[in-house]
Structure 1
Amino acid sequence: MTILFFLLSGTALAEVVENNAEPVALGPHELVESVTGELLEAIGKHRESFEQDPEPFFEELGCLLGKVVDFRFIAYNVMGPYRAQATDEQLKRFADAFRRDLIETYGRGLVSYGDETIVVLPLADELGEKRKVTVAQEIHGVDGVFPLYYSMARNKSNEWKITNVVINGINLGKTFRNQFSQRAQKFGGDIDQVIDSWTTQVSTEA
């Protein structure tokens, strides 16, 4: 389903105040809404050349997603209890492998985007000083309406970041975490082998 590949729609764009050119960070709702158009532009630009040379699209997608998706936070949570025993080098290796995996997997799905209509729903309550919110998005297509829910949180720089997505009832954070746990059990808790298998999966699918 092409809707699956909109779970990472986001970019930390900033509005510029005309009077003093000071950047003003977008709120979570505006953030998701604004990047949808930019993401569709990137798809249109790379669609024809993607099969012959996908790397330019992956690079642009990585730049967009890297500014709004907290890949490191998500990757560390995917590691679950194994994170506590991982070294700093292993944490970095897995975060990098996880990021690359998502960009390539969803990038390949994005180029198949068709005539769906994407709607970002308004926040149910006032944002106020909340540190965590859920932004709802709907994908309207020929197969019906599919909901996406973005878990978003403010970081220390007061920027909103996507930390998880639930799509059509499927919690992707939990899904990835189960995958990591299953691989860790398969390899007897050897984190390096889990990371290597994640990297191998990326390279064989590329």
Structure 2
Amino acid sequence: MYQYTKKLSLLLFTLLAFSLPIYPESSSVFVEKVHDQIVEAIKSNIESYTENPKAFIKAISDPLEPLVDFKRISRYVMGKHFSKASNDQKKRFHDAFKKSLLDTYSKTLAEFKDEKIIVSHETQKSKEGKREKVFLEIVTDTKNYPAIYYMYLNGQGEWMLYNIVIDGVNLSLTFRKQFNSLMKTEKDIDGVIKKWVATI
């Protein structure tokens, strides 16, 4: 289960590496606009990964953190257990979950080769206009993966990512199933957090 989730995470962060916007006027247009800038940033920082992995992770994490709604995703992953968790447990899981994703992200960038992202200009908007689905295709040497970004506008008018579906697999739901599976074996939230940290 962990290896499968790790593979999906690598695909997730390949998407993030290439195309996520910070303040898009139009989500799909902005994705294309920043594509070359993100690729250049990867090339500029890739050497530091071997010499100083922590510095590389920080260089990539700084622009990524305000973009991804880690708090919302981690709350969804905890599901029904969120309301039962103490504030300390919620914070510790949020921190562990966030670190696991950022570490996976940095490793994905370090392994970056010739993947490409094709962004569709057609987005699916919600009725109120505050949510959008952006449709993409990840092109690799072995397979093409259709993907969907789920984004919403926060109170400051900034697009935030809260879920991705890759090749029909819902990543947030996959992480939730992983959390529930760990709850069955570890029996409590503290045990799950400890196990999650061990996978980082």
TM-score range, shorter chain: 0.7 to 0.9
When structure 1 is superposed on structure 2, of 29-38 and 114-123 the one drifting more is 29-38
Distance 1:128 1:178, change over 3 A: closer
Alpha-carbon distance change, 201 to 116 in structure 1, aligned in 2, over 3 angstroms: closer
Find the counterpart in structure 2 of residue 181 from structure 1. Answer: 180
Aligned residue for 1:18? Answer: none
Pick from 12, 22, 32 the counterpart of residue 22 of structure 2: 12
Taking only aligned residues, the RMSD between alpha carbons, in angstroms, comes to 2.2
Alpha-carbon distance in structure 2 between the residues aligned to 1:112 and 1:183: 29
* Secondary structure of 1:98 counterpart: helix
Kindly state the Cα deviation for residue 31 of structure 1 after the two structures are TM-superposed.
4.2
Q: Does 1:136 align with 2:144?
A: no
Question: Could you tell me the TM-score, scaled by structure 2's length?
Answer: 0.84
Query: Contact 2:31–2:119 at 8 Å: present in 1 too?
Result: yes
Residues 38 and 95 (structure 1), Cα distance of their counterparts in 2 relative to 1, 3 Å cut: farther
Structure-1 residue corresponding to 2:27: 28
- Superposed CA offset, 1:8-47 (max 9, x none): 342424xxxxxxxxxxx53322443344333322321222
In terms of fraction of residues, the more helix-rich structure is: 2
The answer on 1:150 being equivalent to 2:149 is: yes
Q: Distance between the aligned counterparts of 1:95 and 1:89, measured in 2?
A: 10
CA change 1:125–1:192 in 2 (3 A) is closer
Q: Looking at CA atoms only, which structure, 1 or 2, has the larger radius of gyration?
A: 1
Name the TM-score, length of structure 1 as normaliser. 0.82
Give the distance between the partners of 1:27 and 1:184, measured in 2 at CA.
40
Contact 2:125 2:131 in 1 (8 A): no
Distance 1:125 1:201 in 2: 35
Unpaired stretches in structure 2, ≥5 consecutive residues: 1-6
Query: Given residue 162 of structure 2, which amino acid in structure 1 is its aligned partner?
Result: T
Unaligned runs of 5+ in 1: 14-24
Secondary structure, counterpart of 1:151 in structure 2: strand
Q: Secondary structure at the match of 1:101?
A: helix
Report SS of the residue matched to 1:153: strand
Identity %: 34
Alpha-carbon distance in structure 1 between the residues aligned to 2:135 and 2:145: 11
Residue 46 of structure 2 contacts residue 109 of structure 2 at CA under 8 Å; is this kept in 1? no
Equivalent residue number for residue 196 of structure 2: 198
